[in-house]
Amino acid sequence: MSREHDQTEPVLRIEELSVTFFVRQSLFRTRPVHAVSGVSLVLSLGETVAVVGESGSGKTTLGRATLHLAPISAGRVIFEGTDIGELEGKELMSFRQRAQVIFQDPFSSLSPYMRVGELVAEPLAIHGPKDREEQHQRVLAALEQVKLSPAEEFVEQYPHTLSGGQRQRVSIARAMVLDPDYLVADEPVSMIDASSRAEILYLLAELRAQGELTFLYITHDLASARHFADRIAVMYAGRIVELAPSAQLVDEPRHPYTKALLAAVPEPDPANRLHERPVVGGEPPDAADLPAGCAFAPRCPAAISGVCEVQVPPLIQLDDGHEVACHLYPAGDSIGDSTGEPASESVSSAAATKGSSASG
Amino acid sequence: MALLEVRDLAVEYGTERGPLRAVDGVSFDVEAGEALGIIGESGSGKTSTATALMRLLPRNGSVVGGTMRLGGTNIGDLSDEDFRAQVRWTGMAMVFQGAMHSLNPVMRVGDQVGERLLSDGVPKAQVQARVAELLGQVGLPATTARRYPHELSGGMKQRVMIASALTNDPPLLILDEPTSALDVSIQAQIMNLLKQLKAQRRIAMLFITHDLALASDLCDHIAVVYAGQVRELGSAEDVLGSPADPYTRRLLASIPSLRDPAPPAFLPGAPPDLREDIAGCRFTTRCPVVYEPCAEAPPLYDLSSGHHARCWRVGPGGPGVPDDAPPETAS
């Protein structure tokens, strides 16, 4: 599903982005929740980057921040050369038209009181042509584009008469009706039956192929990311811990967290039931109470004591272009080490022996 | 004799547009200590089968045919009172989909797990000891009993629900999408816990999911259901290794593989409306290999010992399912 794209032209440039929320702890005290910390990521024209992580990893907040929908506390998001934090008035309106989002839950993100036609026409009322007939034609075209055909029939229906897959198509039509340049898809298939997921991903891939659409695909599902995205960024506790071309990340993971995630995904194999899956114990940390140093260190089977719980590892580039934030790959050492093997003994075997202690 | 024997089960719901037969002649066995996976899309009847077994169908639903035997007893014949005393939670217990949201937010976890024992008249000290033991069995520290649900993560709450289901040592657990709201790494932890319970305590399981890959993590046998009927039934090796039915094959092909660069195929369309009379095979509207006999409903063929499939092509004298049934890939 992934394909070639132009590497040279960055559409979106995320620079050292941090998003911190403040939650009230008591009447006079608030505490900071570091949802996203120092994330940098560049999306080229027509490229799809998957942001993979578990709940609380900051992936959704990162996506929202790139849409001017979350408060940026540090860093910048540059869209086609302009800092979106500085957009106001007409420019902000124009950005909102060009950057669209598809949400996870097609059951709650569509108003049950609106017909499909009205739902898809809603963005046009703000950004589109004022002419009714032209709006109607745009709606029909968008529905045909997402294969809700015949569009004239779907226009009259209410969301509750549609299947999960069809509802998600309506959400996609709502995003596509304004012909955006940048699309954030936040878990677009996780609430849909397994049998229909591939169909929705193909539809997104098709839309992407028709225009020069730059895509941020937010998911917890590494397998779909591998097939749908050009590159995968793995997030943990608000930071990118690994970033590489999709197949490379899945086939040669470097970060112990990525390895653990990959080991947790079952593939349909009758032999799976005969042994326990190697898992890391524990759960991701609370973003309001992050451990010092590497946030994964308390669960990491390969943690180097005295180092990992002290210092946050920076995201460094290895020789093969693979980026990783882990003390097992010291910045200096990777230069002469083309394989990018970890500095200590095999991480995966360590992950297999430590593990299934069940604290979650 | 199997621990659970379901024969020709039929469940109907009364709807504004007439009766909907959600389960239409489903038969399967669950052997003691083994896990059977029931795999299907939304609306396939998998959850209705489970709630019918537990006698927890909503008001407009009823069992209209078939028998259900648990340990030899026909549980369909029991009075509601006997069913509560002998079957529900004792003979079999159920962990519901999204169950972790069903914990009472203002009650301590231990009080909720022990509630049923207390109402059965077990002395408080014994209940507390039992709750600690149950929490231990699902990998939670005994101190969890004093905590409130909001203090626990999703994975811990699901463990509490499993502990609760284990209260009366049922020989059979029904698990309805027990991990669907959990993160992958927590899902793997819960699946490992279920494997331990199955291996160490010989608890039989009926595992209901739409995810074939997840089912392979636990299930010895797999039943693939579609539009209220079993399409394919067999050992995990049979169903996953040499799937016979075109629906099973498509379902398998639609799973994006992590290691295999080949893109997933997809299953276009949607299941039929069960309120309408369906002549012929129920999968024809989506099947890539329809031929003339499909106009009539195929029987569930016994292909080899225990491997069944509902497709004319794999029956005696049938042409077989071509391997090269073109998977739909990106257009």
Task: Write the pLDDT tens digit of every residue in B120-172.
Answer: 899 999 999 999 999 999 999 999 999 999 999 889 999 999 999 999 999 99
Would you place residue A9 in the very low, low, confident or very high pLDDT band (cuts 50, 70, 90)?
Answer: low
Residue B259 and residue A268: Cβ atoms within 8 Å?
no
Q: What is the mean pLDDT of chain B?
A: 92
How far apart are alpha carbons A188 and A150 in whole angstroms? 23
pLDDT above 80: residue B33: yes
Domain count, chain B: 1
Give the distance between the most distant pair of CA atoms in chain A: 68
Distance from CA of A51 to the nearest CA of B (A): 15
Distance from CA of A268 to the nearest CA of B (A): 4
Question: Which amino acid is residue A203, in one-letter code?
Answer: L
Question: Which residues of A are less than 8 Å from B157 in CB distance?
Answer: none
Size of interface A-B (CB pairs under 8 A): 159
DSSP states of A303-322 as a string?
A: --TTTTTTSPPP-EE-TTS-
CA B173 to chain centre: 10
Residue A356 and residue B237: Cβ atoms within 8 Å?
no
**Minimum-distance CB partner of A54 among B159, B184, B196:** B184
Residue B159, in any domain of the structure: yes
pLDDT of residue A350: 42
Residue A224 and residue B183: Cβ atoms within 8 Å?
no
How far apart are alpha carbons A74 and A238 in whole angstroms? 13
Instruction: Dig out the tokens for A186 from the structure.
Output: 């936040």
Which of A187, A193, A200, A234 is the mutation pick for testing B, counting most B CBs within 10 A?
A193
**Minimum-distance CB partner of A273 among B155, B217, B267:** B217
pLDDT of residue A332: 54
Check residue A285 and report its DSSP letter.
Answer: P
**Minimum-distance CB partner of B256 among A163, A227, A263:** A227
Residue B54, in any domain of the structure: no
**Minimum-distance CB partner of A273 among B154, B187, B218:** B218
Q: Are A256 and A313 within 8 A, CB to CB?
A: no
Would you place residue A8 in the very low, low, confident or very high pLDDT band (cuts 50, 70, 90)?
Answer: low
Residue B42, in any domain of the structure: no
Give the chain A residue whose CA is nearest to the CA of B153. A360
Check residue B88 and report its DSSP letter.
Answer: B
Q: What superfamily would CATH give domain A10-247?
A: P-loop containing nucleotide triphosphate hydrolases (3.40.50.300)
pLDDT of residue A204: 92
Residue B255 and residue A227: Cβ atoms within 8 Å?
no
**Minimum-distance CB partner of B211 among A165, A194, A261:** A194
Distance from CA of A356 to the nearest CA of B (A): 7
Question: Which residues of B are less than 8 Å from A196 in CB distance?
Answer: 41, 266-267, 270
Determine phi and psi for B23, rounding to 5 degrees: -125, 125
Determine phi and psi for A219, rounding to 5 degrees: -155, 165
How far apart are alpha carbons A10 and A3 in whole angstroms? 17
pLDDT tens, position by position, B243-294: 999 999 999 998 888 988 888 888 888 888 888 888 899 999 999 999 999 9
Q: What is the pTM of this model?
A: 0.88
Q: Are A187 and A57 within 8 A, CB to CB?
A: no
How far apart are alpha carbons B254 and A256 in whole angstroms? 29
Distance from CA of A251 to the nearest CA of B (A): 7
Residue A273 and residue B261: Cβ atoms within 8 Å?
no
Which of B16, B160, B184 is the mutation pick for testing A, counting most A CBs within 10 A?
B184
Total residues belonging to chain B: 331
For residues A168-198, one letter each, b for 16 or more C-beta atoms within 10 angstroms of the residue's C-beta and e for the rest, the string is: bbbbbbbbbbbbbbbbbbbbbbebbbbbbbb
In A138-238, DSSP assigns E strands to 182-186, 214-219, 231-236
pLDDT above 80: residue A347: no
Residues 6+ apart with CB under 8 A from B125: none
Question: Which residues of B are less than 8 Å from A356 in CB distance?
Answer: 189, 192
Residue B138, in any domain of the structure: yes
Taking residues B88-101, report their average pLDDT.
87
pLDDT higher at A25 or A264: A264
- Structural domain including B155 reads 100-167
Instruction: Dig out the tokens for A241 from the structure.
Output: 């811990």
Q: What is the mean pLDDT of chain A?
A: 87
Ranges of each domain in chain A: 10-247, 270-360
Question: Which residues of A are less than 8 Å from B268 in CB distance?
Answer: 199
What's the Cα-to-Cα distance from A47 to each of A17, A208, B37, rounded to whole Å? 20, 9, 39
**Minimum-distance CB partner of B266 among A199, A267, A356:** A199
Q: How many Cα atoms occupy the beta-carbon half-sphere of B255 within 13 Å? A: 22
How far apart are alpha carbons B76 and A176 in whole angstroms? 52
